[in-house]
Amino acid sequence: MEKDKFSVRDLDLYYGSNHALKKINLQIPERAVTALIGPSGCGKSSFLRCLNRMNDFIPGCSVSGKVELDGSDIYDANTDLINLRRRVGMVFQRPNPFPMSIFDNVAYGPRLHGDRDRNTLRDIVEESLRVSALWGEVRDILHTPALALSGGQQQRLCIARAVAVQPEVLLMDEPTSALDPMATARIEELVRELRTRYTVVIVTHNMQQAARISDTTDFFLSGEMVESGPTQQMFTSPRDKRTEDYITGRFG
């Protein structure tokens, strides 16, 4: 692992008076899969939303500290949010394709950012669907409604949609929690492939999933980052007692 994509320093997050993230310090390596694990309510999603500033939309949410992306603080006053979210894509817990065609879903991002040419768009759509391993299944039904796809296909479509704006980072918040085991396996396989091109940060409450797909794991507990390290090491010889208790299933 060469370089850190994100470097988070002394990050605090409050929802009103609820101190949801406490002095988080961690690095997220580039072109690798980082898993965020921990019991529900510990702040994984809140942390993830700090990385593309989706927390800005939540009333009463305030953040302090530094989140550096390639060395510059994204919480800086003159950060271009549009550009930030273009560089840092997001896939949500529940598949949320737009109520439009498969093609229009994938082309949505590129169109926002000014791509109008039909051929360019067609190429981007095909490439993105290939990356998300959906092309073979939808190549003949590109202009049918995305909502007619199965849940697993919808989630891969959401990945294609995120990939279409050529992000550097993909944030995924429990992307398989609404899917059946077969669909989950496909997404996991896909995540492993994505790491060659993107920095992936994935929230999961499924320990086996974290162990299978991630290079680095960060363990969160009640708003604190307890332990961070190579996944292998974390699951075989955790340094912290609380990590050990959690991954051996003693709580959470």
Ligand X SMILES: Nc1ncnc2c1ncn2[C@@H]1O[C@H](COP(=O)(O)OP(=O)(O)O)[C@@H](O)[C@H]1O
Residue 57 contact among ligand X, Mg ion, another protein, none, beta carbon within 5 to 8 Å by kind: another protein
- Residue 233 to residue 89: CA distance in whole angstroms: 28
What is the contact mask toward another protein in residues 183 to 222, using x (rule: CB under 8 A)?
A: ----------------------------------------
Tell the smallest beta-carbon distance from residue 237 to Mg ion (Å). Answer: 27
Question: Residue 141 or residue 178: which is nearer to ligand X going by CB?
Answer: 178
24 touches 11 (CB < 8 A): yes
210 residue type, one letter: A
Q: Is 162 in the site for another protein (CB under 8 A)?
A: yes
Token pair belonging to 210: 């974290």
221 binds ligand X (CB under 6 A): no
Determine the 3-state secondary structure of 113 from DSSP: coil
Q: What are residue 110's phi and psi, to 5 degrees?
A: -55, -40
Write out the binding residues for another protein, residues 63-82 only, by CB under 8 A: 81-82
CB of 34 to Mg ion, least distance (A): 16
If one asks whether residue 58 binds ligand X (CB under 6 A), the answer comes out as: yes
Using alpha carbons only, what angle is made at residue 188 by residues 187 and 189, rounded to the nearest 5 degrees?
Answer: 90
- How close are the terminal C-alpha atoms of the chain, in Å? 30
Of 8, 20, 32, 45, the residue at the interface with Mg ion (CB under 5 A) is: 45
Q: How far apart are CA 154 and CA 91, in angstroms?
A: 11
Nearer to ligand X by Cβ, of 62 and 232: the residue is 62
Q: Give exposure, 90-103, as e/b (b: 16+ Cβ within 10 Å).
A: bbbeebebeeebbb
Applying CB under 8 A, which of residues 24, 51, 165, 210 lies at the interface with another protein? Answer: 165
Structure tokens at 30: 């580039």
Cα–Cα distance, 161 to 104 (Å, whole number): 9
Task: Please choose which of Mg ion, ligand X, another protein, none residue 208 contacts, taking the beta carbon within 5 to 8 angstroms, the exact cut-off set by kind.
Answer: none
Contact residues toward another protein (CB under 8 A) are 52, 54, 57, 81-86, 89-90, 92, 94, 96-100, 108-109, 112-113, 147, 158, 161-162, 165
Note the residues at the interface with ligand X (CB under 6 A): 15, 18, 20, 38, 40-46, 58
